[in-house]
């Protein structure tokens, strides 16, 4: 029987691949964003500056603090990488999401899985990098391949999970390849590319599960993600193959506006694998980038029956502006 031997969560923010003295390049985009989501409401930049004036965010977003927290994130990433290398699982199941990198408005499945033999990890051409908005081209290189690469997918386990989920009432989109975008560009979303680029020291055959966390109207709710994770956990442990399986949740935590109070509640649920907390998180908070917490919720639900306990827990809020924009970074392991 397959055994879940390791679980981890990691942020995959572009800020992790951007020097701290260049974080300000995305602040102009923050100022132009007409809908910065914070605690269930939408704001513009100046409104958030006024609303959060007593939080000392000018200091929190200063270069010395950015530099210190960026370094702390790199240390956490290195520790995660070393732990994954030491565990050396046979299979890595990655729970991630897409941000219009693969799926377009014409085709956005709520929950999808790869069940082909391979997945392509594409390099970004210099021409495309030059056309990207300020700050994006620098960060994109952290989750894209240096050259076009093909990685193995565990087709048998993927099909087993798909069949098991279908039997439990989940309707999953199955894909042989990732060519669903309007330009039919092969590749993977950065939620997955970050894991391959930053955390794998050798190729690990994988299972890719993708949630539509960002885009209405068909996002799975937090409670549905708990149920999904529990069903995946049952499918894995019922798999009649002697495999050591690791589980990864990629994304989060609160962004593009950081909310440390909400993150505290989320982290309590994650650390204790408390499904009551995680399933009851308010949907109007789980919007924009913060919605990626659902990848972690699904991961935690998979791990619930594994017997694994929290080991590493690093929480690092990385502010880039006085409005509180940025990304709260999380790095956790269950061992």
Would you state the torsion angle of the CA atoms of residues 129, 135, 138, 141, taken in this order, to the nearest 10 degrees? -70
73 inside domain: yes
Please name the residues in contact with 56: beta carbons below 8 A apart, sequence gap of 6 or more: none
Please name the residues in contact with 306: beta carbons below 8 A apart, sequence gap of 6 or more: 4, 7, 233, 237, 334
Q: What is the CATH number of the domain that holds 239?
A: 3.40.830.10
This prediction has a pTM of 0.96
Strand partners, 319: 326
Strand, coil or helix: what is 222? Answer: helix
Number of helical (H) and strand (E) elements in the chain, helices listed first: 12, 12
329 inside domain: no
296 inside domain: yes
Q: Which domain holds residue 183?
A: 7-321
332 inside domain: no
- What is d(CA 308, CA 263) in angstroms, rounded to the nearest whole number? 22
245 inside domain: yes
156 inside domain: yes
pLDDT tens string, the chain, 335 residues long: the values are: 899 999 999 999 999 999 999 999 999 999 999 999 999 999 999 999 999 999 999 999 999 999 999 999 999 999 999 999 999 999 999 999 999 888 888 889 999 999 999 998 888 777 777 777 767 777 777 777 888 899 999 999 999 999 999 999 999 999 998 864 555 556 789 999 999 999 999 999 999 999 999 999 999 999 999 999 999 999 999 999 999 999 999 999 999 999 999 999 999 999 999 999 999 999 999 999 999 999 999 999 999 999 999 999 999 999 999 999 999 999 999 99
327 inside domain: no
The domain tally of the chain equals 1
Give me the half-sphere count of Cα atoms (radius 13 Å) on the Cβ side of residue 135: 19
133 inside domain: yes
- What is d(CA 323, CA 316) in angstroms, rounded to the nearest whole number? 17
């Amino acid at each position: 029987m397959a055994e879940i031997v390791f679980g981890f969560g990691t942020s995959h923010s572009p800020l992790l691949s951007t020097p701290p003295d260049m974080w300000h390049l995305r602040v102009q985009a923050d100022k132009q964003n007409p809908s910065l989501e914070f605690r269930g409401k939408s704001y513009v930049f100046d409104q958030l500056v006024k609303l959060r004036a007593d939080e000392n965010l000018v200091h929190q977003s200063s270069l010395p603090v950015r530099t210190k927290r960026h370094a702390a994130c790199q240390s956490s990433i290195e520790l995660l990488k070393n732990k994954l290398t030491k565990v050396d699982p046979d299979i890595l199941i990655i729970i991630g999401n897409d941000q219009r990198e693969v799926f377009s408005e014409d085709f956005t499945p709520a929950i999808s899985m790869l069940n082909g033999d391979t997945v392509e990890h594409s390099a970004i051409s210099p021409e495309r990098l030059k056309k990207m908005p300020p700050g994006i081209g620098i960060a994109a290189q952290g989750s894209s391949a240096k050259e076009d690469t093909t990685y193995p997918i565990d087709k048998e386990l993927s099909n087993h999970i798909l069949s098991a989920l279908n039997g439990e009432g989940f309707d999953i989109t199955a894909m042989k390849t990732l060519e669903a975008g309007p330009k039919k560009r092969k590749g993977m979303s950065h939620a997955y590319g970050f894991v391959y680029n930053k955390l794998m020291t050798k190729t690990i055959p994988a299972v890719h599960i993708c949630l539509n966390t960002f885009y209405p109207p068909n996002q799975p709710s937090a409670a549905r993600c708990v149920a999904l994770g529990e069903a995946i956990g049952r499918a894995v442990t019922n798999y009649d193959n002697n495999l050591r399986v690791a589980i990864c949740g990629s994304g989060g935590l609160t962004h593009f506006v950081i909310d440390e109070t909400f993150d505290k509640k989320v982290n309590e649920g994650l650390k204790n694998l408390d499904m009551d907390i995680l399933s009851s998180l308010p949907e109007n908070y789980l919007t924009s980038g913060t919605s990626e917490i659902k990848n972690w919720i699904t991961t935690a639900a998979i791990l619930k029956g594994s017997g694994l306990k929290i080991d590493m827990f690093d929480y690092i809020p990385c502010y880039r502006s006085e409005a509180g924009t940025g990304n709260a970074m999380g790095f956790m392991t269950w061992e």
